[in-house]
Amino acid sequence: MKIIPAIDIVDGKCVRLTQGDFGQMKVYREDPVEVALEFQAADIEYLHLVDLDGAKKGKVENWEVVENILDKTALTIDFGGGVQTESDVNYLLDLGISQVNIGSLAIKEPKKFIRWLKKYGPENFILSADVKNEYVMINGWLESAKYRVIELVDQFIDHGLEYVTCTDIGSDGMLNGPNIGLYKKIKARFPDLKINASGGIASIDDLLQLQYMNLHGAIIGKAIYEGRFNLSEIKKIHAR
């Protein structure tokens, strides 16, 4: 299982929200590039990079941060937040982004996402499902899409979808542990889907539970910034 630290960006700064609430935002670092370099120095391989401004506004906002992190690190980066156009996808892949996260667009324009899966290859995309009580939320977690996560994945699985990141909004930022039941449901329905768990991960035991379920990855955010993990611990789990 991949252990994937997260950097969320608002106004060019490294922040975390609690339960997806922009009113409960804490700035942890002024320079996300410094944080990414620290991950790299600790021999971390992966990074989940999110433009929260972009997710909220419906277009990528923090291009400079993305470009600087790619320029100054060798991390394998998946990126999301406001990707809406084919030119966005082309630019991100040309920059060296490993995978592009597609969230709101997959709900609003599913045919466009299916075209992208076919044109660029499903290995270049992650369906980003931010879930509250099993229903998918869009537009920076501000609006319900009226779809359950299983129903959303079902739309794309026959079109080659390989990867999904599912964030449990109720757990996100709470440090109370991940929603194991949610991931069990998705795994049972789509056993071959590569699932990244996100939200609530706060301990080594949490990571071991997810690893036991044979998930593809675990995304950790607030627990790193609040000192629940040190980076060497993350590397050890990844190596198991």
Which residues are catalytic, by number? 8, 130
If one counts every other C-beta atom within 10 angstroms of the C-beta of residue 134, the result is: 16
Length of the chain: 240
CA pseudo-torsion sign 215, 221, 226, 230 = positive
Contact 141, 168 (CB under 8 A): no
Rounded-to-integer distance, Cα 136 and Cα 173, Å: 18
Residue 37 — φ and ψ, nearest 5°? -65, -35
Rounded-to-integer distance, Cα 21 and Cα 120, Å: 33
Nearest to 98 by CA among 123, 121, 119: 123
